Structures are given as C-alpha cells and as structure tokens.
Structure 1
Amino acid sequence: MASSSAGFVAGLTAAALATVGFLGWQASASLPPELGGAAKPTVPPAVSASKAPRDKKNPAELPAGTGSGPRVVYGLDDNRVWLVDRGDKVRRTFRVDPGSVDPAPGVYMVTSRSGSVTGTDGIPVEHVVRFTAVNGVSIGFSAQTGPATQPPDEGVLTGGIRESRPDGTAMWDFATIGRQVVVIR
C-alpha cells in the first residue's frame, strides 16, 4: 500500500512540474522581446511559412495552409490581411501598406495594443496592434488618423503596417492580446 501511494504522489508531482514548466514557457513566449520574450516566430506544422498557394481567380480568397481557428493572416507578398473566425470563415479582408521592416513568415501572438500614438514616421495612428519586433523595430497594424507631423526621415525604420480607419477598427475589435497572427509570403 505504501508503495502505491508513493507512486501516486510521484506521478502527481511529475504532472505538477510539467504543468508549471509549460505555463512558464507559455508566459515567456507571449512576452514582447524587449521584456525577454521570444522574438522569433514559432511555426506549427499546420502552417506553411513558405509561399501559400493562392486562388488566381480570386486573390482575396484566404490562402490554404494558414492554420486553423480564429487568427489574423498577413500576406507579405499580397499586402493583404484576412481576419479569420472559427471554421476558417473570413470575417474581413483588406489591403494594407507595409512599413520598411517586415516580420519573418511564421506564427505570432498579439503582444500589445495602443489606442493612439505617433508612429516612428511622425504620423498619428490609432488602434495599434503589435505582434513582434525585428532588430528593435516594433511590428504591428495601425490606422492613420491624420497627416504626418513631419516628413519621415528616410533612415528611420518603420514596422507599422497601415490600414484604413474602418479596417483598423475591425482589426482592433478582432485582434485582442493573445490572438494568433500568421504571417505568410
């Protein structure tokens, strides 16, 4: 009897340690890089980090191989975003204007949001949804709210992926902290 109790306690202890380790990893993976989180994307096997196949007759169609579940899909080559609900139903798709720094293809999570700020290019923006950083440059979606307050310095690297105000509002409502962002070619 004592032997089976010891085995039971050892099993519970192992399970508890595994759970704590997983939760610690999960918490560190969701931190922004400047706070010690991972800057590189994680790519599950279900998501293709290479060029996702496109429907040539309907370029706004959600590309295959972008994962499953609710997610934001950002096509680097298309400069297009898809907001995808459960069941791979596209809630909204729209074109965007990328910054000068692109994220690597892969899977990220929304790590921070800001209601309104001034972008590194001097343009006031709103509904900022950040999901990674590349060499210290924050990468995220935002909507321009006004004219540039100064001409952008050509040497300034920008990670702002600009959307129209209506698209920015849709992104803000959909892409809460922890929402998956899939970046494809």
Structure 2
Amino acid sequence: MAGTSSGIVAGLTAAAVGAVGFLAFQARATVPAGLGGKPSASASAASKAPRDRRNPTALPHGSGTGERVVYSLDDDRVWLVSARDRVQRTFRVRPGNLDPLPGTYWVSSRSNAVTGSDGVPIEHVVRFTTTADGIAIGFSAAVGDGSPVAADPGVKTGGIRESRSDGDAMWLFATIGVPVVVIR
C-alpha cells in the first residue's frame, strides 16, 4: 500500500509540474514581444513609411494596421489610430534627447503623475520601451500651462512631451498593450 500511495504522489507531482509548465508557456505566448522593450521584427518595414507630402498630417502609409499609436521621429508627430485604421487625433510632440529605434513596441506601463528624469513634474505618462541604460521612453505632458517644455540637453531623457490636452487624449487611448509603431 505504501508503494501505491508514493506512486500516486509522484504521479500527482508530475502532473502539477506539467500543468505549471504549460501555464507558464501559455502566459509567455500571450504577452506581446514588445513588452520587453525591444522592437519587433517589423522595425525595418516601419522605418520607411512613406508620407503624403501634400498632407503632412496624413497617417503615413505602411505604419501598421489596427489600433495603434504611430510616432514619427523625423516629423515629431503622433497619430492615434482606431482599430478601423481611422486617425482619431494627430499632434506634434517635443522629444527628449534619446530616441527609440524604429519598430513596433507595446505600451508597457503608465503613471498618472510623476517627476520626469529632467526634474519636471509630468502627468499621463505612457511608456513603451527603455534604453540600454535603463532610461524609460514614453509620452508625457508637463504639468503647468500645458505647453511642451524643451528637454534640458545636459540630462538624458526619453520623455516625448505633448501638450496637456494631447496628453489627456493619449492617456485615454494608449492603455497597457496598445501597439506603438515608431517610424522615421
């Protein structure tokens, strides 16, 4: 009888270990790769999105499909795009002195109100990656009169500043897991 109960315990232990392993695999398989802060394999395609020069606020072709935030490094512009590929809002931003690489990321964390790495109080922080040095890159609005504040060139910052009204729109739109497509 002792051999039977130890066999049952061993069988149950093996089943439990297998279940935990399977659940860990499933959890990993459902988390977008970009939440780790590295651009996806589509980086090269996203970096060459052509523009409509007659309409500079038009959504760049080749910037992805479905719900997403599109951020143009060259144009200092953001587009909030619905699941049906309609631009909900577009606006200019003032980037910090650290740019993300072109590619697809996902919103990985948010903070309602904090102090930026440059010492400026900010709100509606939407982060999507970090640099190799561990500096967060994301969108935020400076608290104050609502106008974007220029980055201090002596301080490394990945803050992409937007007006307070644009920050409010970003905060409502860009929840955890929403794709952020960075293009040139």
Aligned to 2:103: 106
Task: Give runs of aligned pairs for residues 93-132 of structure 1, distance below 5 A.
Answer: 93-132=90-129
Match of 2:28 in 1: 24
Instruction: Determine the structure 1 residue equivalent to 2:157.
Output: 158
Q: Distance in 2 between matches of 1:42 and 1:161?
A: 20
Instruction: Assess, with a 3 A threshold, how the Cα gap between structure 1 residues 153 and 64 changes in structure 2: closer, same or farther.
Output: closer
Distance 1:77 1:42 in 2: 20
1:82 aligned partner? 79
Gaps of 5+ in 2: 1-20, 146-150
Count of residues in correspondence between the two structures:
161
Q: Give the structure-2-normalised TM-score.
A: 0.78
User: What's 1:137 paired with?
Assistant: 135
CA contact (8 A) 2:37 2:105 kept: no
Q: Does 1:57 align with 2:54?
A: yes
Between the aligned partners of 2:66 and 2:23, the Cα distance in structure 1 is: 24
Residue 48 of structure 1: SS of its match in structure 2? helix
1:134 deviation in Å?
0.9
Identity in percent:
59
Instruction: Give the distance between the partners of 1:18 and 1:107, measured in 2 at CA.
Output: 28
Distance 1:63-1:19 versus aligned 2 partners, 3 A rule: farther
What is the rounded CA distance, in whole Å, between the counterparts of 1:49 and 1:94 in structure 2? 19
Give the match for residue 183 of structure 1: 182
Q: Matches of 1:102 and 1:120 in 2, distance apart?
A: 15
Amino acid at match of 1:178: G
2:160 corresponds to which letter in structure 1? I
Distance 1:87 1:146, change over 3 A: same
* Offset of residue 29 of structure 1: 3.5
The question of whether the paired residues in 2 share the 8 Å contact of 1:50 and 1:105 is answered with: yes
Please tell me whether the aligned partners of residues 97 and 153 of structure 2 are also in contact (alpha carbons under 8 angstroms).
Answer: no
Conserved 8 A contact 1:123-1:146: no
TM-score, with normalisation over the residues of structure 1?
0.78
